Structure 1
Amino acid sequence: MGLFKQRRTGDASAPKSLLDENGLRQCLRVAGGATLGFVISKLMGWNYGVFFTVFPMFLLGMVPLLNAGIIRQFLGNAAFNVVEVSLIIGFLQHMPVVMTLVVLAIFLFRFNLMAKGPLFLYAANGVVTLSILLHFASYPGVDLSELLAANLLASVLAVLIAMLMYTLFPDVAPRQPPPRAEKSAAQVRHETILGGVTATLSFVVFQTFDLRDSLSAQMATVLVLFALSYAGAQASAVKRIVGTLLGCNLALAMQLLLYTQSNHFLLAIVIYWLGLMLFSREHVLEAGGSGVGFGGMTTLGILFGQSLGPTQDIVYSALYRFSSMVVALALTLMVIQCLHRVLDHFEATRLS
């Protein structure tokens, strides 16, 4: 049946390059949800289109199910982000040292939740959105109220879109929950410090230098930390680079195809959906996480959400985002390796 040929759910003998029924439906949910968010934001003329394209990808792609607990975590994070960013920018922006310490405490708290497991979605989504919000809010001329309102609106819309996608493309068989990993207290502390300190250093760098157009690079430095280990971050970084390269190349091909047809929005929608289907298929076959497929999806989402328009040059955006992301990931891995070695010198944070 071609590229998206199905196999029976639970058929272990089937090739891993083929999707089962649940996998195919997850592809349809991710691609459909991300496309719907993109379309709504463009038709409504809302700013910060990246929120409306990436949030549905995150909710539908990182977690292959939807229930009341997941919705509470997702919306609860959005509400807490409003409070956190309002206080940090409103009261601490003129005190960079104090602001950095507060951000460090917030990141340590969230990575501690990620290391423990049950609230992983809340914490992971919080790390990503908080990094993005602080990135945008730090620049002069940005309307903080509009920024936070867009984040809340995009979060609520992502939940509504996810509910619609699960209604249209429900799983055909129950999914088995992933096994709970048993971790020692030292491992939890190791992962907490590794992630929290690295994310804070990323925040400091992007606050110090004028990197307004480097959102993809900043997101990459955060997403590789979801592996919670140096070895995992290495593998994730390689996959992220490959996914971003493929996403940029596909975006460039789309730009060439739409070069004289930029006013045909329906054509852009169809091409965008097809690109998302390709990357969501790879994401599902990778069994989740921030790999090649998710890297390609988010690259397309950022490029289309921020750079699609008759007066905007997606070619420059794609090339700049890829080059800045590679540099950012190389520096991030160096930091992670150094922290990993330092933490392993102490019994309280040594990996068993």
Structure 2
Amino acid sequence: MKTLRIWFGCSMGLALSMVFDWSYGFFAIMLPLFILGKMERFSLAANILVLVSVVWTTTLATILVQMFQFHPVILSVAVGLMMLVNCIAMMKPSTYLFGFIGLFVGSIVLSFASYDFIDIEDFNINLWVTTVVNIGVCAFAYWLFPERTSQCVDNQVSTPVKKDIDYIAQVALGWVVAMAAFFVFQVANLYDSLSALASIIILLTPMTLAGSMGVAKIRIIGTGLGCLAGAMVQLILGKWFGNGVLLWLALTIAMGWFCHWQTKGQIKSAIGFSAMSALTVPMTTSLVPEQQDAFFSILYRFSSIFVAVALTVMVIWVAHHCIRECLLPAKSLTQSN
């Protein structure tokens, strides 16, 4: 039932994005995938938390950029505080979702809002509408494909912390890498590298070096599979890729296996999530029916994510060892006491 529930939610999100021509329609697919994959039963409170987190993060990030865009030092301090709060929130299971959304969505909005040619208000409103619609999509999916009561066990994300010194090290690691990504995307002209920025933030979710290394491998494998699936959809459809019904049907079929992986443990679930994003983002943003296909966008996505993942892992490795070296005296003093 869970596979059918996730598959239905993603296909329905794709259909809505195509019917209403949402500029960032991939959110309508990835949100049901994320929510339905994490929760075995419908929770209005959890969905409202996602909505509040999205509205709060997009509003705060937009205001910060618009107010302090011409004051780089003040903007850096304000963003640093925002990122720090989100990293701290990710250390507790009860606030993990709020922190992750703040870090993920906040980084995207901060990058987009710094470009004058991007209508950030349109992006924010589009994301708000998608998040509201996602509540209805998830509720409908749970109603059509209910889970047995005996099997309803929520998958809560937690970040284990053994000591205060480890807590500080994990928060510092996430904060350093998130701020490094912020500065790079502010200085460089990387407005078309949304997937690379998303990959950087996803690598931070374990908040540890070992966890990030594992996520990096998963991200590359999943992206490769998703890009391959997208290219196959393009080749199979051929000149008929401009037919909306055929395109929806082909993408729905391609999403089926990745949705099934969401029920097969953490590793396959993570690979499936990465593959879904690699499949749906180019096909909903770069594809213009009867005008432009998404083949080159698919190739660019894989190459940009591969480079971003490799560089991020290097930064995480350096940051991890530097932070540990700085905290080593404090740890030794704590153990002696």
Could you tell me the TM-score, scaled by structure 1's length?
0.86
* Equivalent of 1:333 in 310, 313, 335: 313
Using the aligned pairs only, state the percent identity.
29
Verify the 8 A CA contact 1:53 1:302 in the aligned structure 2. no
**Given the superposition, is the C-alpha separation of residues 73 and 46 from structure 1 closer, same or farther in structure 2, using an over 3 Å criterion?**
same
Q: Does 1:48 align with 2:24?
A: yes
Verify the 8 A CA contact 2:6 2:259 in the aligned structure 1. yes
* Equivalent of 2:242 in 232, 252, 263: 263
Which residue in 2 is equivalent to 1:107?
83
**Given the superposition, is the C-alpha separation of residues 63 and 342 from structure 1 closer, same or farther in structure 2, using an over 3 Å criterion?**
farther
**Given the superposition, is the C-alpha separation of residues 79 and 349 from structure 1 closer, same or farther in structure 2, using an over 3 Å criterion?**
farther
Verify the 8 A CA contact 1:62 1:288 in the aligned structure 2. no
Q: Does 1:282 align with 2:261?
A: yes
Amino acid at match of 2:227: C
Superposed CA offset, 1:78-134 (max 9, x none): 221232123112101112232222222212211111112211112112221112222
Amino acid at match of 2:320: H
Looking at structure 2, the residues matched to 288 and 170 of structure 1 have their Cα atoms a distance apart, in angstroms, of: 24
Looking at structure 2, the residues matched to 183 and 30 of structure 1 have their Cα atoms a distance apart, in angstroms, of: 35
Looking at structure 2, the residues matched to 166 and 118 of structure 1 have their Cα atoms a distance apart, in angstroms, of: 23
Looking at structure 2, the residues matched to 242 and 54 of structure 1 have their Cα atoms a distance apart, in angstroms, of: 18
Q: Does 1:174 align with 2:151?
A: yes
Amino acid at match of 1:255: Q
**Given the superposition, is the C-alpha separation of residues 102 and 233 from structure 1 closer, same or farther in structure 2, using an over 3 Å criterion?**
same
Verify the 8 A CA contact 2:161 2:167 in the aligned structure 1. no
**Given the superposition, is the C-alpha separation of residues 30 and 46 from structure 1 closer, same or farther in structure 2, using an over 3 Å criterion?**
same
Amino acid at match of 1:292: I
Which residue in 2 is equivalent to 1:204?
183
Q: Does 1:89 align with 2:60?
A: no
Three-state SS of the structure 2 residue aligned to 1:291 is helix
Deviation at 1:63, TM superposition (A): 4.1
Could you tell me the TM-score, scaled by structure 2's length?
0.90
**Given the superposition, is the C-alpha separation of residues 63 and 128 from structure 1 closer, same or farther in structure 2, using an over 3 Å criterion?**
farther
Deviation at 1:158, TM superposition (A): 1.4
Amino acid at match of 1:325: I
Structure 1 unaligned runs (5+)? 1-24
Verify the 8 A CA contact 1:217 1:325 in the aligned structure 2. yes
Verify the 8 A CA contact 2:83 2:178 in the aligned structure 1. yes
Q: Does 1:141 align with 2:117?
A: yes
Three-state SS of the structure 1 residue aligned to 2:258 is helix
**Given the superposition, is the C-alpha separation of residues 72 and 316 from structure 1 closer, same or farther in structure 2, using an over 3 Å criterion?**
same
**Given the superposition, is the C-alpha separation of residues 64 and 333 from structure 1 closer, same or farther in structure 2, using an over 3 Å criterion?**
farther
Which residue in 1 is equivalent to 2:277?
298
Deviation at 1:48, TM superposition (A): 2.1
Amino acid at match of 1:244: T
Amino acid at match of 1:305: T
Verify the 8 A CA contact 1:138 1:207 in the aligned structure 2. yes
Looking at structure 1, the residues matched to 201 and 96 of structure 2 have their Cα atoms a distance apart, in angstroms, of: 14
**Given the superposition, is the C-alpha separation of residues 182 and 229 from structure 1 closer, same or farther in structure 2, using an over 3 Å criterion?**
closer
Which residue in 2 is equivalent to 1:120?
96
Verify the 8 A CA contact 2:83 2:103 in the aligned structure 1. yes
Amino acid at match of 1:175: C
Structure having the larger proportion of residues in helix: 2
Count of residues in correspondence between the two structures? 327
Deviation at 1:182, TM superposition (A): 5.5
Which residue in 1 is equivalent to 2:197?
218
Verify the 8 A CA contact 2:234 2:295 in the aligned structure 1. yes
Looking at structure 2, the residues matched to 219 and 242 of structure 1 have their Cα atoms a distance apart, in angstroms, of: 16
Which residue in 2 is equivalent to 1:79?
55
Amino acid at match of 2:3: C
Which residue in 2 is equivalent to 1:30?
6
